[in-house]
Every structure is written in structure tokens, then in C-alpha cells.
């Protein structure tokens, strides 16, 4: 799968098309001198990540670490953490946010099961510098690590159009705010002086824009959009 890269320091809400790909004279070593750390609870996945990076001829061999050593700041911001993290799961996104809040956080390449553009956007918002799908690890991980080492952010190219944050109408924002407060459709209708069928219509539109199917998912995404980092 092709990837889009962009500078981490100026990463916009959605990736923009980059220049046409060129074939370098020689492949860049993953990490470009930075210490690469690996964490994955799944042993088979950890071994795959290790093998891919070993074969990339990086200047420093990747090191398997426990997550606590990263969370406690044992590794500085010059390191790159290759972190098995399912961007579809709120629990894993919460760990990403914890990592990003650390004073000496390494740059993070998240290795995730395949996700939608919304999932990738959530992973970047939570703190990842790059997202790589585990099913395409052999062809993408070393490239992503090298790009992050040079100050780029990496996302799957075919999802870049779906990473833009959705725009909501004033009413949709009101309804989502009420949902986040735990109100039922009937309670929202009463509070906003609208018909319950109108509330359902606004919710249906919001679900479609977020790419979700449940009130809980929509509320979580809305809170993340309104207050980044508020969901722990």
C-alpha cells in the first residue's frame, strides 16, 4: 500500500497529496540512527516487527521493551517506539494518549489492524506519528520508521481523504453535546424544543459523518473533536 508523508511539526487535519514517488538509489535504513523500540503484547506480531526492522539494516538494532519503561520516561524523545496499538479500540487509544503526555515521549509508529480513515485520524489525534496496518507490515514498517525519524508523519495513502475531521451543523453539534451528557432522544427533543424524529435525523447524519453505529462511539468521537485529549 502506498503511504502519504508530511512534516510532523505542521501536520494538518488531513493529509495532502505529496509529490510523485521516485525510486531511490538505495533504501534508507529504518530509524536513520535513532534507537528503535518495539512493544507488542502478541509475541508473533512482536517477532514479525523485529524481523522486518532487523532486515532493514538500521544502524542500531531494535530493542524489545516493556511499556512501563516508556511510560516512566526511560527513553527520550529521540527514540522511535513501534507500538502494536489497535486504533479501533478506545483502550489502546487511551494508552497512546498516556504515552504522548509523558515529558520524554519517543516518536510513535502505531502498528494496527486495518482501520477506516476515522480510526486512523483518531490514532494520530491520540499521539501516533505514523499508522501502519499489521497485514502490510513487511512492505511498510521500515519505510514508516525511516520517515518518522526524518520528521514526517505517515498514513496509508488510500485513507487520506477520509481523515479530515467531519463538519457538523449547529443542530448536530447541539444534539451530539446532549448525547455526550447521556440524554435520551426524548430528553434531547424536550431540551431543544424539537420533534424526536428530528433528533433521530440529526443523529443519523452525525453517525454517518463519524462512520460509527452507536451513540457511545459518536459521543466519544465528538468529545475528542471538541476537547482533544479529554477522553482517557
Q: Are residues 222 and 138 in the same domain?
A: no
Q: Are residues 177 and 133 in the same domain?
A: no
Residue entry with cell 428530528:
198
Q: Are residues 174 and 84 in the same domain?
A: no
Q: Are residues 154 and 184 in the same domain?
A: no
How many angstroms separate the Cα of 210 from the Cα of each of 63, 83, 129, 160? 37, 25, 22, 15
The pLDDT of 36-57, averaged and rounded, is 90
- What's the DSSP call for residue 214? S
In a domain, 4, yes or no: no
Give the whole-angstrom CA distance, residue 87 versus residue 156: 13
Give the whole-angstrom CA distance, residue 109 versus residue 12: 18
pLDDT, one tens digit per residue, over 168-195 is 999 999 999 999 999 999 999 999 999 9
Q: Are residues 154 and 42 in the same domain?
A: yes
Number of helices (H), then strands (E), belonging to the chain: the values are 9, 7
> What was the pLDDT predicted at 8?
46
pLDDT, one tens digit per residue, over 82-91 is 999 999 888 8
Q: Are residues 57 and 135 in the same domain?
A: yes
Q: Are residues 197 and 121 in the same domain?
A: no
Give the whole-angstrom CA distance, residue 201 versus residue 72: 46
3-state SS, residue 227: coil
> What was the pLDDT predicted at 82?
93
Give the whole-angstrom CA distance, residue 220 versus residue 135: 27
Which stretch of 39-48, 97-106, 135-144, 174-183 has the lowest confidence by average pLDDT?
97-106
CATH of the domain at 204: 1.10.10.10
CATH of the domain at 111: 3.40.50.2300
Q: Are residues 149 and 93 in the same domain?
A: yes
Residue with the bigger pLDDT between 159 and 12: it is: 159
Strands 36-39 and 80-84: parallel
Contact 86, 122 (CB under 8 A): no
Q: Select from 146, 163, 180 the last residue of a domain.
A: 163
The grid coordinates listed for 126 are 491520540
> What was the pLDDT predicted at 30?
56
pLDDT, one tens digit per residue, over 97-134 is 888 877 567 899 999 999 888 788 888 888 899 999 99
Q: Select from 163, 185, 214 the last residue of a domain.
A: 163
- Given a cut of 60, whether residue 23 has pLDDT beyond it is no
Average pLDDT, the chain: 80
Q: Are residues 134 and 209 in the same domain?
A: no
Question: Sheet of 107-112: strands edge to edge?
Answer: 3-7, 152-156, 130-133, 107-112, 80-84, 36-39, 63-64
In a domain, 142, yes or no: yes
The pLDDT of 206-218, averaged and rounded, is 82
In a domain, 94, yes or no: yes
In a domain, 24, yes or no: no
Residue with the bigger pLDDT between 19 and 225: it is: 225
Output the pTM of the full model. Answer: 0.66
Q: Are residues 38 and 153 in the same domain?
A: yes
Q: Which residues span the domain enclosing 177? A: 170-226
Q: How many domains does the chain have?
A: 2
Which stretch of 72-86, 105-119, 214-228 has the lowest confidence by average pLDDT?
214-228
Amino acid at each position: 500500500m502506498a503511504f502519504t508523508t508530511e512534516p510532523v511539526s505542521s501536520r494538518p487535519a488531513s493529509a495532502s497529496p505529496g509529490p510523485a514517488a521516485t525510486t531511490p538509489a538505495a533504501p534508507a535504513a529504518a530509524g536513520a540512527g535513532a534507537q528503535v523500540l518495539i512493544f507488542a503484547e502478541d509475541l508473533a506480531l512482536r517477532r514479525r516487527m523485529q524481523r522486518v526492522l532487523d532486515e532493514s539494516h538500521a544502524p542500531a538494532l531494535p530493542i524489545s521493551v516493556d511499556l512501563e519503561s516508556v511510560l516512566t520516561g526511560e527513553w527520550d524523545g529521540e527514540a522511535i517506539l513501534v507500538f502494536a496499538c489497535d486504533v479501533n479500540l478506545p483502550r489502546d487509544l487511551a494508552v497512546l494518549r498516556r504515552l504522548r503526555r509523558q515529558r520524554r515521549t519517543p516518536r510513535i509508529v502505531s502498528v494496527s489492524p486495518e482501520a477506516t480513515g476515522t480510526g486512523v485520524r483518531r490514532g494520530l489525534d491520540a499521539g501516533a506519528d505514523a499508522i501502519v496496518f499489521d497485514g502490510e507490515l513487511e512492505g511498510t514498517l521500515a519505510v514508516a520508521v525511516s520517515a518518522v525519524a526524518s520528521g514526517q508523519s505517515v498514513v496509508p495513502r488510500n485513507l487520506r481523504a477520509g481523515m479530515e475531521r467531519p463538519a457538523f451543523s449547529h443542530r448536530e453539534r447541539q444534539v451530539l453535546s446532549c448525547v455526550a451528557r447521556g440524554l435520551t432522544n426524548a430528553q434531547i427533543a424536550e431540551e431543544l424544543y424539537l420533534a424526536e424524529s428530528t433528533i433521530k435525523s440529526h443523529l443519523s447524519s452525525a453517525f454517518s459523518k463519524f462512520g460509527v453505529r452507536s451513540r457511545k462511539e459518536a459521543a466519544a468521537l465528538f468529545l475528542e473533536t471538541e476537547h482533544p485529549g479529554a477522553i482517557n
